[in-house]
Structure 1
Amino acid sequence: MVSFGHGSSLQEDQNVLIDQSKDKRRLSKWREYGSTGGDSTGDTCPTCHGIGRIPRGQENQLVAVIPCSDQRLRPRHTKLYVSISVAVCLLTCALILFFLFPRSMTLSPVINTSVLVYFTPSTVEMKVTNVLNITNENFVSVQAHDMDLQALIWDTVVGKIKISNVTTVPPRSEKLITVEIPITIEDIGLNGYCKSVHIRIHTLFLHLQMTMKVFYLGHSEQLSMDTFQYIDCGTNSTIPRPT
């Protein structure tokens, strides 16, 4: 008798050998984990388990290793970008220094607008009105405050005035302020000189000393000025007198 069971068993063994040969050829295309050549000696890659593909769902959990010779690690125009960045930074710093660098403030006399004279039995009272100019060379506003002004005749103080809040000067501009100085002359000789009807000219040499504080760009600065004027203490005068 002929046994057919033996033939079917042989056919199954051949099919198994063919499947194993296909698997080997498919896996031989991928290098095993740890191998550097074409040989298959080494450990199986724990990421893809030897199949050469990343399992789905693990794309955001894995890190790709890029060789140092990869062009993505060598961006083009690097020197150009660095040079442009440095130039922009230097230009920005230069502009900041140019606009915010503190510049000088100037306090100067403009004109003596009027002198009003009042006689009392023992004194001569006067009100001297002056126009002052404050020049701001900065690119920011400047606050002027605490102005101290005193008037002297022959080194004798005859009048004082203090103004706490003077004015605010806009950037790159000038501003005029009017100051009225009260003067009292108590000296007997000067009283007789100013009240004498036999003297046609009653001129006095007035010395004005001024100090003023200005605040800008986070710091305070003090301005000072001395000016000399001729005033007539004999009669009222509203004629402008240049300093």
Structure 2
Amino acid sequence: MGVSVGHCSNPQEEKEAIVPQDTSKRRLSRRDYGSTSVESSSDCPTCQGTGRIPRGQESQLVAVIPCSDQRLKPRHTKLYVCVSVVLCLLICALVLFFLFPRSVSLSPVAIMSAYVFFTPKTVEMNVTNVVNITNENFVTVQACNLDLQVLIYDTIVGRAKVSNVTTIKPRSQKAYTYVVPVTIDDVGLNNYCKSTSIRIHTLFLHLQMTMRVYYLAHSEQLSMDTFEYVDCGTNSTVPHII
């Protein structure tokens, strides 16, 4: 009776023989899908096998972010925009309110005194007046170049000029005192002022004033016309309202 000798396969050996085949298939599938493992790093065209982006190519690359990323949906966006707009409008309104040019005005107050003295052909007077300068701005105003002339009817009898007048603080009013010389050389007016038979020698003076003010990087010219009366026959040191 013959005995046939056959090769008996071990189950463990069959398992070891199968494992390498599966591993090779798994590696092949990873390589096909562009895995980032060390073995497949050469498949990345951007990294060029180094795993890093080359310097100088950052501006040439585009990042793809999914729509579900929270960075694309910032929270309280409308609130931040509204608060920013309101703050900008508030700042602009405050700047316009405080820096918007307002009026600077002149107003006559009173005659402080009138000093009168006679010469053989003229009547000389030094008339001291007070004028109010009102500043409605929130900045300081510099007043200068005061030009004043005094007329009797249409004849100029006096003139005064002042280069640096005064400085007016914000939202305030300041009284400025000035002296204008008056010379009367008309024969009829000389006789009228020097006459002893007349007790009151009243003259009506027409004052024309111009002044330039500087504020908020610009200049403005102010003007004022007023009338006042003086006694040309005697000294008067008692202030009276114009």
Alignment TM-score, normalising by the size of structure 2: 0.80
- The residue aligned with 2:197 is 198
Deviation, structure 1 residue 47? 5.3
> Is the alpha carbon distance of 1:44 and 1:239 closer, same or farther for their aligned partners in structure 2, counting shifts above 3 Å?
same
Match of 2:166 in 1: 167
C-alpha offsets along residues 35-64 of structure 1, whole Å, 9 cap, x if unaligned?
xxxxxxxx94335789xxx83x65988765
Which residue of 2 is the match for residue 5 of structure 1? Answer: none
Query: CA–CA distance in 1 between the matches of 2:34 and 2:162?
Result: 88
User: What letter matches 1:116 in structure 2?
Assistant: Y
**Runs ≥4 in structure 1, deviation > 4 angstroms?**
14-17, 26-31, 47-50, 57-64
What's the CA shift for 1:24?
4.6
Question: What CA distance in whole angstroms lies between the structure 1 residues aligned with 2:28 and 2:86?
Answer: 56
1:12-55 residue CA offsets vs partner (Å, 9 max, x unmatched):
xx979745644654675787249xxxxxxxx94335789xxx83
Question: For residues 55-108 of structure 1, what are the alpha-carbon distances to aligned partners after superposition, in whole Å with 9 as ceiling and x for unaligned?
Answer: 3x6598876532233221121211111111111111111111111111111101
State the one-letter code of the partner of 2:109.
V
Partner of 1:32: 33
* Aligned-partner residue type, residue 72 of structure 1: R
Offset of residue 218 of structure 1: 1.8
* 8 Å contact kept, 1:147–1:212: yes
Q: 1:59 to 1:24 in 2, by over 3 A?
A: farther
Shift of 1:221: 1.1
CA contact (8 A) 1:143 1:215 kept: yes
1:68 to 1:197, Cα distance in 2 relative to 1, 3 A: same
Deviations 1:98-126 (A, max 9, x none): 11111111101111000000100000000
1:219 corresponds to which residue?
Answer: 218
Q: Is the 8 A contact 1:104 1:137 kept in 2?
A: yes
Task: Give unmatched runs, 5+ long, in structure 1.
Answer: 1-10, 35-42
CA–CA distance in structure 1, aligned partners of residues 177 and 77 of structure 2: 62
- The change in CA–CA distance for 1:17 and 1:161 in structure 2 (over 3 A counts) is farther
The correspondence of residues 1-243 of structure 1 with structure 2, limited to 5 A, is 18=19, 21-22=22-23, 24-25=25-26, 28=29, 32-33=33-34, 44-46=43-45, 55=51, 64-243=63-242
Corresponding pairs, count: 220
Residues 241 and 22 of structure 1: CA distance in aligned 2, closer, same or farther (over 3 Å): same
Give the letter for the 1:114 counterpart.
S
Contact 1:32 1:45 in 2 (8 A): no
Q: Any idea what SS the aligned residue of 2:198 has?
A: coil
For 1:129 and 1:23, locate their aligned partners in 2 and report how far apart those are by CA, in whole Å: 116
| SS of residue paired to 2:233 | coil
For 1:49 and 1:119, the matched residues in 2 are separated by 110
**What is the CA-CA distance between 1:145 and the residue it aligns to?**
1.1
Q: Where in structure 2 are there 5+ consecutive unaligned residues?
A: 1-12, 36-41
1:210 deviates by 0.5
Change in CA separation of 1:149 and 1:44 when aligned onto 2, cut-off 3 Å: same
- TM-score, normalization by structure 1: 0.80
1:174/1:24 CA distance change after superposition, 3 Å: farther
Instruction: Name the % identity.
Output: 64
